[in-house]
A and B are shown apart, each in its own frame.
Chain A
């Protein structure tokens, strides 16, 4: 069982870290931990998770009484001790299977202006790049960087490609790209240096809905190549 370290990010935030390795196992422990913390129903907290850590943002005045019995000079230390106790409830139970979300993508052409470059870089044909990308079974480790932006694991190493030397000033929302060993989808139009190989019309950020994102940490994503004429 992974033993987390707990350290302060600030006087109002604690980081609970589970090592430095990205793996689905670590992810499941993290998701279990998030659920455990939320089950404590602490007033005024907000919990986020990343590849290997959880951040609990809190209001010290709201938790002072609760953590008073715990050892520590500061509320921060006492709260860390409180969480250490809570985390003792972590079990090795199997992870629940997440959802699988299919994302239809138009690869290449005006939708994927860097597809040819990625193919050239790997001495493959564009169709081979598409086949490798669309065959992947991707895991959503976390959301961050932009609203609804998924940090996906599982890109085939054969098509891992460095970022563009000159970033683009504007990448269209829905663009599917590769940057190093990562692949992802831009939920918003932003500048960026990713190699853009395709585009989807599927909306990743849905501010009017709850939750406001299509994807969540723990989901699996598959990219489905669609032809120009078909809907996307």
Chain B
């Protein structure tokens, strides 16, 4: 098993999330950066195995059994017995190895993927941590010193695999499409939102990011909706003019106007934004968003095919 010597700033077990339970008010959760998560698993020749998501500062972990691991996501300096470990490369682990992860230098979230996945109990079809409900993942919470996370013995990968992830993480504005209530907010608000720069507030977490507009947004005619579905990447506009960007642990329904939606192909980039960082948005058409989603999905599936089979 994995013994937690230092948990890191905020580390939870995640997989691709809980599918099929939103009708019960049960959130999806899962890896905030789904691309980093999928690439890590693909490099270990597997899919949907539970990984450890680290935030801002990584932890220190002792492996009691041999295994193979991969680190993905934001660039993090990591060593084993003082020797630097590269990201996005499969690494053989011996019993007794201690992995020391430092601060995440680029981006915000990194993933420790392990061959066979972390074998915490499955709850409602998933090993993702549901923090608010205190279930799933490791005991439904972030890791603490002394925790022992189980994993199974697996044969080592015959040839170490690595890949260069930079094509998945481009700089530039976050691309969005119109939200369901875009037309109702009027031209002034539409302009106020789409031309603004936003700072990610410190009051941001896995549920959502609070966006602080550099040019204040005055919501002259606030309105709310009957509670209805929202999704990862939905941008809501509450009466105080500070948009809320819903992330992996978003609640299943909401009543604030949905003014924009981050495109699927840019969701993983959101996970690598840090509090106090600024971002801008760029409106594109749904047709364009669909194309980008399909291109990205096909690219990932091809990679998964090549690596796994």
Tell me the A residues contacting B by CB distance below 8 Å.
7-13, 15, 20, 22, 46-53, 55, 57, 60-61, 73-76, 142-149, 151, 187-188, 190, 205, 207-208, 211-213, 217
Contact = CB atoms under 8 A, between A and B. Distances in A.
B16 interface: no
Nearest to B135: A207
Given A9-B231, A12-B264, A207-B123, A212 B26 contact: yes
Contacts of B261: 9-10
Interface in B160-177: 177
Contacts of A49: 23
Contacts of A46: 19-20, 22-23
Contacts of B134: 188
Interface string B163-195: 000000000000001001000000000000000
Contacts of A144: 25, 227, 251-253
A48 B132 contact: no
Interface in B254-287: 258, 261, 263-264, 286-287
Contacts of A73: 287
Interface stretch (B30-38, B40-48, B151-159, B290-298): B290-298
Contact of A147 (B25, B229, B230, B264): B25
B294 to A, nearest CB: 6
A208 B24 CA distance: 13
Given A9-B231, A147-B133, A60 B294 contact: yes
B251 A145 contact: yes
Nearest to A12: B264
Contact of B251 (A7, A60, A76, A146): A146
Contacts of A148: 24-25
B289 interface: yes
B13 to A, nearest CB: 16
A208 B135 CA distance: 10
| 7 closest Cβ pairs, A-B complex | A55-B229, A144-B253, A50-B228, A143-B25, A51-B226, A147-B26, A48-B23
A8 B123 CA distance: 30
Given A47-B23, A48-B229, A143-B25, 14 more contacts: A8-B177, A9-B180, A9-B229, A10-B264, A11-B263, A11-B290, A12-B264, A48-B22, A50-B228, A57-B22, A74-B286, A151-B227, A188-B133, A208-B123
Nearest to A46: B20
B35 to A, nearest CB: 15
Interface in B114-131: 123-124, 130
B273 to A, nearest CB: 19
B233 interface: yes
Contact of B290 (A9, A53, A76, A208): A76
A15 B180 contact: yes
B234 interface: yes
Contacts of B252: 48, 143-145
A40 to B, nearest CB: 16
Contacts of A53: 228-229
Contacts of A188: 132-134
A7 B226 contact: no
Contacts of B132: 146, 188, 190
B253 A15 contact: no
B177 A146 contact: no
A38 to B, nearest CB: 11
B9 interface: no
